[in-house]
Amino acid sequence: MTIISGSILAANHAHLARDVTRAEKLGIERFHIDVTDGHYTHNLIFGNQVVEDLKKETKALLDVHLATYNLMSLAKQYAKSGADILTFQYETCNHPLRLINFIKEMGVKPAICFTPSTPYEAIDFFIEEVDIINLLAVEPGVGGQRFNGKIFSKIEKISEERKSRNKNLLISVDGGVNQNNIEMLVGSGVDILVIGSGVFQGNMEKNLEELKKIIS
């Protein structure tokens, strides 16, 4: 079953709880929370207090994406705040396996995220190590980019490898996911579609109805 993960970056930041609970009532069971530190990317968003407060408002899973430096310290903070999944950026991590084990020890599911330019060879190593591999289809921190179709070859390789190496591994795609590419993404083996504007912008009920039609 394909999962829609609502990216709250596209929600109304003044009314996050309202938008999240509304989306949950319409069937969204997972929310993607981007965290940036103003260093790896130029913007600064979503401190751990946001996660702690949203945890009180929703029963949905909260997937916190740490697109930051200083990952070990931040992982601890966000795990304490209630993150169900901690997705960390491979390109900013000096010791990925150490961080994965640290996340597991805190009782949180580990996931790892890769930019489009990171080669498949780097991704392959982690197939047995995490619960989710998240592939960015755009470079982090820059708006208005086109969906990078080169990630399809990576999706297909991961999908094939997990059959014998980690059947429980989920493949997630984030960035530029919309009605034009969802069918191809699902067909290539993607389990989780991280969608922001397509969920939260405009008529949320109509948006989700159309998304579910395409997926089904």
Q: Give the pLDDT of residue 106.
A: 98
Query: What percentage of the chain carries pLDDT values higher than 90?
Result: 94
pLDDT at 144: 64
Summarize the confidence of residues 112-116 as an average pLDDT: 97
* Buried b or exposed e, range 72-83, using 16+ CB within 10 angstroms: eebbebbbebbb
Domain that holds residue 19: 3-215
Tell me which residue of 143, 131, 141, 138 sits closest to 30, measured CA to CA. Answer: 131
pLDDT class for 140, splitting at 50, 70, 90?
confident
In this prediction the pTM is: 0.97
* Residue 75 · residue 102 · CB < 8 Å: yes
Q: Which residues are catalytic?
A: 34, 174
What is the tens place of the pLDDT at every residue in 179-188? 999 999 999 9
Distance CA 186, CA 144 (A): 23
The total domain count for the chain is 1
Output b/e per residue, 136-171; b: 16+ Cβ within 10 A.
bbbebeeeeeebbeebbebbeebeebbeeebeebbb
Q: Burial code of 25-35, b = ≥16 C-beta within 10 A, e = fewer?
A: eeebebbbbbb
Domain at 58, CATH number:
3.20.20.70
